[in-house]
């Protein structure tokens, strides 16, 4: 398993509009992307960039916050918000160079991979690993986007 950079931290929210205002006005975010629907996964998504470290050496360079709001009919994020009405940290996402090799690795370790690799919010293949097998953290594994 070749661990790549921390691509993003997923945060569930009952309102992306309210969360955008929070990240802009309270946290000082200056680069907030346009929200879009990821209909396949029943969510609306909005990425907020954290600044690139000017040294270029930081391991956190350009890590994003992924705001996630359930679309009508979504079950899993809606259930999460029932337990966490104000929203909360939902998952972390690490990049890997080869999504299929990573899936085989986690399965070989006895970790429960949730479904087949599918196209995620960045347009590359992703899968999730069950939080109970991942130290309590729902973990998204994502193939590194081209150009990174």
Q: Which residues are catalytic?
A: 140
Report the candidate in 46, 29, 28 with the shortest Cα–Cα distance to residue 38.
46
Handedness of CA 5, 9, 125, 20 (dihedral sign): negative
Q: How far is the CB of 54 from Co ion (least distance, A)?
A: 26
Q: Return the number of the residue (55 or 74) whose C-beta is nearest Co ion.
A: 74
Query: Which burial class, exposed, middle or buried, applies to 10 when counting CB atoms under 10 A from its CB (0-12, 13-18, 19+)?
Result: buried
Min dist. Cβ of residue 40 to Co ion (A) = 13
Instruction: For residue 78, give every residue at least 6 positions away whose Cβ sits within 8 Å of its Cβ, in sequence order, or none.
Output: 70
Nearer to Co ion, 4 or 54 (CB): 4
Nearer to Co ion, 66 or 69 (CB): 66
List contacts with Co ion (CB under 5 A): 10, 66, 93, 140
Q: Which residue is nearest to Co ion (CB)?
A: 10
Report whether 89 contacts 67 (CB < 8 A): no
């Amino acid at each position: 398993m070749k661990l790549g950079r921390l691509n993003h931290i997923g945060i569930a929210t009952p309102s992306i509009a309210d969360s955008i205002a929070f990240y802009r006005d309270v946290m000082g975010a200056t680069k907030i992307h346009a929200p879009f629907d990821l209909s396949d996964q029943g969510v609306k998504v909005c990425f907020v960039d954290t600044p690139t470290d000017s040294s270029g050496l930081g391991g956190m360079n350009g890590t994003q916050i992924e705001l996630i709001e359930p679309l009508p009919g979504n079950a899993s994020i809606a259930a999460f918000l029932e337990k966490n009405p104000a929203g909360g940290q939902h998952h972390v996402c690490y990049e890997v160079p080869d999504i299929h090799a990573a899936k085989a690795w986690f399965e070989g370790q006895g970790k429960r991979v949730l479904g087949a690799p599918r196209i995620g919010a960045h347009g590359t293949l992703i899968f999730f690993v069950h939080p109970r097998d991942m130290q309590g953290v729902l973990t998204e594994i994502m193939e590194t986007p081209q150009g990174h």
